Structure 1
Amino acid sequence: MTTQAQETREALGARLRGFRKDAGFASGRALARALGWQESKVSRIENGRQNASEADIRAWCETTGHEADLGDLIATVRHIDELWSEWRRQLQTGAENRQKKSLPLYQKTEVFRIWEPNIIWGTIQTAEYAETIFGEASHLFGTPSDTEAAVAKRLERQGFLYKGDRIFNVLLGEQALYSNHGGSEVMRAQLDRLMAVLALPRLSLGIVPRSAPLGIWVGHGFSMFDDKLVMVETYSAEMSVTQPGEIEVYMKAFELHRQTAVYGRVARGMILSAIDHFDR
């Protein structure tokens, strides 16, 4: 579980502990008896060691006389569930379904902010590059390989680059130009694709040079959808950030990376150098 998810769960537990004490239950054991639960369950929830279900929250609020807080607390429980979604669970039926889930989000987003320090962003990947990435994920997690269908859905997202008034602000670390996924031929084709997207009118592609004086550490990649959601991918899971204060942190991080990025002719030269590298 992420630090944010754990902290949110602990904060929820502290609030529920206050409800228990306000209602006159001197111990968690007393409330557990009233609810018909195992004695340790109340303690685990209050100390953030166990997730509370929506049914648990409803029973807790009704028993302690805090029905007015039910809606807010259930929203918190759902937020915790959304914060951390294990990749193996998401990909247990293959990658196509996960790619399909992205389409409605793309449909309603007006401004994208993307930071990828060491990989090409999915929406501007070639089919061959994407196929390699999905194959690597399937191998890592031991999940079904539905690469062809997953690639088709990923390429479907590229249609959003050409329709509507969406703005795409994309930052790549220079390392992304050299991280070899699929071999020289795949990489040359992918870099040619980057040259082509430089001309897209609503896509701004910046590259952060590896020797640039950074305003913040490189960190992890993330995708920001308007100012409402940030998606963060790690090796084991995908995290959704929706709290305004944390979204603001990611906004600041993006701006700090953007200030060290190069664009236009300089970015084109860096891509050409990477192409030359793979030609050799």
Structure 2
Amino acid sequence: MTFDPETLGQSRNDLAEMLRDQRRRAGKTQTWLARRCAMSQTKVSNIESGKLTPSLLDVEMMLEALGVRESIAAQIFSVARTANTEWQDHWSSRRRGLDKKQNELSRLESASTEFRFFLLSMITGLLATPDYVRASIADVPGDQSKTIAKKLERQQVLYDPKKSFTFVLTEQAVRWPLLPPVAMAMQLDRLASVSRIPSVRLGVIPLSGYLPERPLNTFTVYDRKLATVETGTGALLLRDRRDVLAYLSDFESYERYAAFGDECRELLSEWSVFFTRQR
């Protein structure tokens, strides 16, 4: 299915109106529909008012309970899929202020328990040294001191024993020389240190050997509810269960090729020495 970026994340109200209309056409109350779908009446009300985006499973149950014709149901499903996808472009984030984006990520991390990061080309902020964080947003004009401080503050979530993190980084993500050699060596030492945190499982995929996979994007999966996919100009936020499960499956595939534990730290040490010798 092709999405128009201008409509992503803006279809919740359309979906709410369509579902509300179908219920009224069927002559049913919210209480009746809630009972048939094993939902609360409050949830149905929030869906119909646009306050809550229903999952595709929610929509399927509601349409089936209301006996909606197949042709109309297909149209509603199309809108529901769009409503479960959000586009966040870099320009809008920069206009609002990157520190606001850090607040959003902090809330998301607070609400989630299990995290899976696949890092194709760069090291994520949760793993970065202050120098790396600063370099990663060096192209953004203006004073970014608040953003840098909030990125570093977010790293405390790694020490929460109630959460679990799995990071899979490609060798090119680890070794891309975003910083001068000595600073890069310190960044690799930081990765090795983080890999010893009890709640963290950190692995790297070396370029040597045979790798029949073909990753295209950096992505993160939060629990089994949300997948965020990075592109060159923004990020897609996917809430459709099929999308999330697809990225979970991709993550598990890449994870099989990664080195963890002592083997990972040996590779990081080897690459750190490489940078140190470049002084």
Q: Secondary structure at the match of 2:165?
A: strand
Mapping for residues 16-55 of structure 1, pairs under 5 Å:
54=13
Say whether 1:112 aligns with 2:106: no
The corresponding residue for 1:210 is 207
Matched, 1:246 2:205: no
Structure 1 residues 251, 131: closer, same or farther in 2, change over 3 A? same
SS at the partner of 2:137?
helix
Paired residues, what number? 228
Q: Which residue of 2 aligns with 1:130?
A: 133
Measured against aligned partners, the alpha-carbon deviations of 1:80-111 in whole angstroms (never above 9, x if no partner) come to 48521211011113311111111111111111
Q: What aligned pairs does 1:1-280 form with structure 2 within 5 A after superposition?
A: 5-6=3-4, 54=13, 58=17, 66=22, 68=24, 71=47, 75=53, 76=79, 80=83, 82-136=85-139, 138=140, 144-280=141-277
- RMSD in angstroms over aligned alpha carbons? 2.9
Aligned residues of 2:15 and 2:80 also touching (Cα < 8 A):
no
Q: How far 1:209 moved relative to its partner?
A: 1.1
* Partner SS, residue 85 of structure 1: strand
Higher helix share: 1
Percent identical among aligned pairs is 24
Q: Tell me the secondary structure at the aligned position of residue 109 of structure 2.
A: helix
Could you tell me which amino acid in structure 1 is paired with residue 238 of structure 2? V
What SS is found at the alignment partner of 2:224?
Answer: coil
Amino acid at match of 1:5: F
* Contact 2:127-2:190 within 8 A present in 1 as well: yes
- Mark the CA change 1:67 to 1:205 in structure 2 (over 3 Å): closer, same or farther: same
- Paired residues of 1:111 and 1:225 also in contact (CA < 8 A): yes
2:118 and 2:167 in contact (8 A); partners too? yes
One-letter amino acid matched to 2:254: H
Matched to 2:229, the amino acid is: V
Report which stretch shifted further, 76-85 or 268-277. 76-85
* TM-score scaled by length of structure 2: 0.72
Q: Are the aligned partners of 1:172 and 1:207 in contact in 2 as well (CA < 8 Å)?
A: yes
Q: Deviations over 1:202-230 (max 9, x none)?
A: 10011111124225212211011100001
